[in-house]
């Protein structure tokens, strides 16, 4: 069968998941889906998504099943029990989890999937909501070559770059590495802007020059202006960044890998959450620094 003819299941239709599911619908796939809150999926249902009440029902209806949830606990919740994904898996099905979770938790889940005769890939993404809408995500994949080859054409509908990193869990390890860099870059940029502003330089001017300078990575070019005004919808919020930094430190501890700059970033993102910025874009770290500097 042509991979583009596979029926798709999608569990977890939040901010990112809903946009990825929409891309799959636009590509002509039959998509079955479910979410903890059905109201968030109504727009997708109107566009052709077939609602199912449980992850198991989604899995039973589809040949390739995707999931995208917030953390380890949520991943276990959608997989376990009589209504979970595992209960609906069977030989020949491929399960692709796009969540950013602990590599070791994902590997343990993969072993449970294999025991059922199915295959599992971890496929975390790098990119914000516009990238998900436009199909320009960077997708990192961990798992066997055969299931990767099977679903790669589908993943290419979702990402500008699709790369198999290695075996199960390896893609998640690299995703955590990416997010360490995002956190540290955002912090360093915010420090520079604050220094300039406190020295009498207009903040907007500092943002413009810094983002156009040698330090202006694609991430800072898109997110730098958020230190002037937060977006209505965060592209990546402080709470999720804190969660990912915690996962990075858990993983680094097992690998004896030092994370000196990430240590500082983790402390400040934790502070940001306690100061009420948990659901703000990570650019809010500028406001945290500004408040700390005045204390």
Angle, alpha carbons 149-12-85 (nearest 5°): 65
Q: Which of 175, 221, 243, 291 is catalytic?
A: 175
User: Which one is predicted more confidently, 128 or 76?
Assistant: 76
**How far apart are the C-alpha atoms of 271 and 285, rounded to whole Å?**
9
Please confirm, yes or no, whether 221 is among the known catalytic residues: no
> What's 173-294's CATH class?
mainly alpha
> What's 3-166's CATH class?
alpha beta
Residue-range domain boundaries for the chain: 3-166, 173-294
**How far apart are the C-alpha atoms of 119 and 112, rounded to whole Å?**
10
**How far apart are the C-alpha atoms of 66 and 9, rounded to whole Å?**
6
Return the pLDDT at 141: 98
Task: Decide: 189 and 210 in contact? Cβ < 8 Å.
Answer: yes
**How far apart are the C-alpha atoms of 139 and 124, rounded to whole Å?**
6
Q: What mean pLDDT do residues 153-170 have? A: 97
Q: Supply the DSSP string of 187-220, one letter for each residue.
A: HHHHHHHHHHHHTT--HHHHHHHHHHSTT--HHH
Instruction: Name residue 126's beta-bridge partners.
Output: 138
Return the pLDDT at 5: 83
Return the pLDDT at 3: 61
Quick check: pTM over 0.75?
yes
pLDDT at 212 over 90: yes
């Amino acid at each position: 069968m042509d991979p583009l003819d596979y029926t798709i299941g999608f569990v977890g239709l939040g901010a990112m998941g809903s946009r990825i599911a929409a891309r799959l619908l636009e590509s002509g796939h039959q998509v079955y889906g479910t979410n903890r809150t059905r109201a968030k999926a109504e727009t997708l249902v109107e566009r052709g998504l077939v609602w199912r009440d449980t992850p198991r029902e989604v899995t039973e209806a589809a040949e390739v099943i995707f999931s995208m949830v917030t953390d380890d606990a949520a991943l276990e919740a959608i997989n376990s029990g009589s209504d979970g994904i595992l209960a609906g898996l069977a030989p020949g099905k491929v399960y692709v989890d796009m969540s950013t979770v602990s590599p070791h938790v994902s590997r343990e889940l993969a072993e449970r999937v294999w025991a059922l005769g199915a295959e599992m890939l971890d496929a975390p993404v790098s990119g914000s909501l516009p990238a998900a809408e436009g199909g320009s995500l960077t997708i990192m994949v961990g798992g066997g070559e055969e299931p990767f080859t099977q679903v790669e054409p589908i993943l290419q509908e979702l990402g500008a770059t699709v790369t198999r990193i290695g075996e199960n869990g390896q893609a998640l390890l690299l995703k955590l590495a990416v997010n360490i860099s995002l956190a540290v870059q955002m912090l360093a940029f915010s420090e520079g802007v604050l220094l300039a502003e406190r020295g009498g330089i207009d903040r907007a001017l500092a943002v413009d020059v810094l983002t156009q300078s040698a330090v202006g990575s694609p991430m800072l070019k898109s997110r730098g202006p958020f230190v002037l005004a937060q977006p209505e919808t965060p592209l990546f919020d402080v709470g999720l960044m804190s969660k990912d930094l915690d996962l990075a430190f858990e993983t680094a501890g097992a690998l004896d890998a030092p994370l000196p700059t990430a240590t500082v970033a983790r402390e400040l993102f934790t502070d940001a959450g306690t100061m009420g910025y948990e659901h703000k874009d990570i650019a809010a770290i500028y406001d945290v620094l500004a408040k700390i500097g005045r204390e």
